[in-house]
Amino acid sequence: MKIVYGRTIVTMDQQRRVLDDAAVVVDEGRIVDVGPRSRIDVEHSDVAERIGGPSFAVIPGLVDAHGHAGHSLLKTLGADRPDVWMDVVTPFYFARTTEEYWYLDGLLSAMDRLGNGVTTSVSVMGSRPRADQTVFSAAHARGYAEVGVADVIGIGPSGNPLPHPTAVPDGDGWQSRTSSLADMIDVTEAVIRELDGTRDGLTRVFVTPFTIVPSLYPSGPSTPHRAVRLTDADRAHGAAVLDLARRTGTRIHSDAFGGHVRLALQDPDTAILGPHVHLQHGVGLDAEEITMLAATGTHFSHAPGGLVDVPSLMAQGVVVAATTDGSAPQRPFDLLLAARAVRDAHVVRERDPYLLPPGKLLEMITVDAARVLGMDDEIGSIEVGKRADLALIDVESPHLTPWWMPVHRIVGQASGRDVHTVLVGGEVLLEAGVPTRVDAPAVVAEAQRVAVGHVVAAGLQSHLTEPGWGQVRRVFA
């Protein structure tokens, strides 16, 4: 049993209470009491372990509803060539990575997220999900488990081309293989059976097809003359994904862009939409497609950098989470910065400084993100009965002084690097900014070795470019 004290506690409960000089009581990984320090100290005087204090604001552990495994060991590689980045990293993930790569990437990304106050995160297995073998997801999961962060593994059909080319280590070389839709469904099911619900529920697996309509362009909106007719292959893909989710009792996560939603609903029986689904990106969604998302109860998550009308989604009742989409080529796992960037983009585009106030932004990375994941009964707020996932922010810093309007200050001026202490399931996993379960310097050194080794072996050094000194707009002549 332990007591966590805060100068301010932002509960994010149904009443959105913000408590001054308050405390949270934790027992066996659960929150058992929240209230004024004066009462907590009297009613729980026998509790020996006490952390936090007047230097800290306590908030729910942050929830990052979309990011990527594999990316942490490739950060900034290829960042200067967004036109080819996906074409560079996807073959690398599918044909030149080892179990060691996925394990070290899992360790590094879990440490990164933890240091930014993220206690629950989604990790899609690669740029598009790699689902040809179970061992890579298992290696990733092992990294997150060692750090202690709650993790949702996103694995599912990788999209076109089918069968999908892959390769696995074979002695000193690589053995080429291919995976059909059925193969990837089988591997996804095997990962679910092996990992979903392990670590007392801290590891989850969502069925995660690359997109909801494979015949359309997968990384951006499709023009009306492209998004015309759902194919038989699209229907087979949707039916297989929905069937797997039903049989295993898992949720679904996927990407979708303009044209995808309308086309998917040409066959409602195979459309990957509904309350058990959350979709990422949404660039190019028009008003009609936003109405379709609302009508089907589909949830939505959004990272900075894409043009999508988040206020219209919210106005129609769609639950929206802000995400990092981290961490490559240059998207940090700092969820507070990501939420601010989402707001800033909408304010500039709409010329409306009243959009997405601080309270809504904090909801988008706590309670709303938990709803998007179907976990709002477990995480996202500081309430009795919920898992004790907490982040303590050091408020005695120049940029957070004077301390008033706490939600404004946290959302508007704090960053992940102000996080001092993090608890997941009541266990202190970060103390004074240092992970408690792993040797952080050793992990960083090993991650550097593995990243460099894989990039050199794959011949990707040419994508480690100079920064464009003196250029106003990047040129390569």
The pLDDT assigned to 305 comes to: 83
Is the pLDDT at 288 greater than 90, yes or no? Answer: yes
Q: Judge whether 394 lies within some domain.
A: yes
Q: Is the dihedral of CA 411, 413, 417, 419 positive or negative?
A: negative
Contacts of 337 (CB under 8 A, 6+ apart): 415, 416
Check which CATH number belongs to the domain holding 313 and give it.
Answer: 3.20.20.140
Look up the domain containing 120 and give its range: 62-372
The pLDDT assigned to 55 comes to: 98
Distance CA 90, CA 338 (A): 24
Instruction: Name the residue type at position 222.
Output: S
Residue-wise pLDDT for 230-270, tens only, equals 999 999 999 999 999 999 999 999 999 999 999 999 999 99
Q: Judge whether 390 lies within some domain.
A: yes
Q: Judge whether 78 lies within some domain.
A: yes
Decide: residue 135, CB within 10 A, 0-12 exposed, 13-18 middle, 19+ buried.
Answer: middle
Number of structural domains in the chain: 2
pLDDT cut 70: percent of the chain above it: 100
The pLDDT assigned to 144 comes to: 98
Is the pLDDT at 372 greater than 80, yes or no? Answer: yes
Half-sphere exposure of 379 (CA within 13 A, CB side): 31
Among 97-101, 168-172, 229-233, which stretch is predicted with the lowest mean pLDDT? 168-172
Both 387 and 368 in a single domain? no
Both 50 and 152 in a single domain? no
Q: Judge whether 415 lies within some domain.
A: yes
Both 276 and 406 in a single domain? no
The pLDDT assigned to 476 comes to: 86
Residue-wise pLDDT for 339-368, tens only, equals 999 999 999 999 999 999 999 999 999 999
Mean model confidence pLDDT for the chain: 97
Both 354 and 396 in a single domain? no
Is the pLDDT at 81 greater than 80, yes or no? Answer: yes
Both 111 and 246 in a single domain? yes
The pLDDT assigned to 444 comes to: 98
Q: Judge whether 461 lies within some domain.
A: no
Q: Which of 200, 74, 61, 67 is nearest to 118 (CA)?
A: 61
Both 354 and 402 in a single domain? no
The pLDDT assigned to 325 comes to: 97
DSSP for 423-467 reads EETTEEEEETTEESSS-HHHHHHHHHHHHHHHHHHHT-GGGS---
Distance CA 287, CA 295 (A): 12
Check which CATH number belongs to the domain holding 399 and give it.
Answer: 2.30.40.10
Question: 222-235 burial by CB neighbour count: b if 16+ within 10 A, else e?
Answer: beeeebeebeeebb
The pLDDT assigned to 356 comes to: 97
Both 198 and 278 in a single domain? yes
The pLDDT assigned to 13 comes to: 98
Q: Judge whether 443 lies within some domain.
A: no
Is the pLDDT at 477 greater than 80, yes or no? Answer: no
Task: Choose the final residue of a domain: 372, 399, 419.
Answer: 372
Both 390 and 286 in a single domain? no
Residue corresponding to tokens 């629950």? 120
Both 216 and 317 in a single domain? yes
Both 21 and 121 in a single domain? no
Is the pLDDT at 289 greater than 90, yes or no? Answer: yes
Q: Is the dihedral of CA 67, 333, 339, 20 positive or negative?
A: positive
Both 9 and 118 in a single domain? no
Q: Judge whether 456 lies within some domain.
A: no
Q: Judge whether 476 lies within some domain.
A: no
Distance CA 374, CA 358 (A): 23
Q: How far is CA 442 from CA 108, 115, 445, 447, in A?
A: 11, 16, 5, 8
Written as six digits, the tokens of 61 are 């552990």
- Per the CB < 8 A criterion, the answer to whether 34 and 303 are in contact is no
The pLDDT assigned to 307 comes to: 84
Both 321 and 392 in a single domain? no
